[in-house]
Structure 1
Amino acid sequence: MKKLIFLHIPKCGGSTIRDKIIQRYSAAGRVFKLYNDNPRQDYYTPRTLTKFLAENEELPKTVKSIIGHISFEELSLLIDMKGWEIFSVVRDPIDRAISNLNYMRINQNHRGNSHAMKVTENSLYSYLCSLDGALQSKFLGGG
């Protein structure tokens, strides 16, 4: 079995890939999960992964998949990427931005909720124009 890294770009169908494919077919301890804004008991953030690696020097040999909201560049600074198959899913950037805006609106505890609630039909175009053009490319190693 090849070792697999899935760079999960938010609002690009990644939860389905994570839940229905990667985790479903991986035994316990074989998937290393990295989610910056959704830490759970067995989820790591880049900061806690750095701490884990400082204490353990490397990932457990049982780990066959890494998934999460982390950029290629950030992950490549933490682990040796040789020997890993790496993939991601991208989406039309406008559709992705609107989907993310709606997600922030319906999730009252999301850190962007108050900002998202201020975007109106009249200000949507300005909102979309103000976004960094690298919405998806930052996850894939773009600047």
Structure 2
Amino acid sequence: MVARLSQPDARELTQTTNQPDTERLKLEAVGLRERLDILALDFADGTLTSGQLRTATERLRSRLSAIEAELADAGRVDLLGPLVGADDVAASWAALTVPRKRAVIDALAIITLRPVGRGVRNFDPDTVGIDWRS
């Protein structure tokens, strides 16, 4: 991770075309979740048909997914910014807590552990796949 964060193009990992208003997005997400709960109650009370419930739920969940994606992108900037901007990336990485390191790894890469086979007790780096996120 340190090598990736030390590369010249690492600053691009934190650049977004526009900074979303995260507080507004969080409030909108809460409102959408509340509306989903109200829909469920209205359906249970017989106010909505199953078709109406399905249509409304799909629209609300679609918007909620879009909001969550925007928030995740904004969080990536907050998460990686201090590391990418650090003079000593290795020291900054070492100072992070394990949960924070996990979040950085999750933001940067998809890690795949492949089976090593029966009876194998030694670590084989070829069994670890790292696919960098763009």
State if a TM-score over 0.5 links the two structures.
no
Give the TM-score taking structure 2 as reference length: 0.28
Whose strand proportion is higher, 1 or 2?
1
Give the TM-score taking structure 1 as reference length: 0.27
Bigger relative contact order, structure 1 or 2, given CA contacts below 8 A and separation 6+?
Answer: 1
Whose helix proportion is higher, 1 or 2?
2
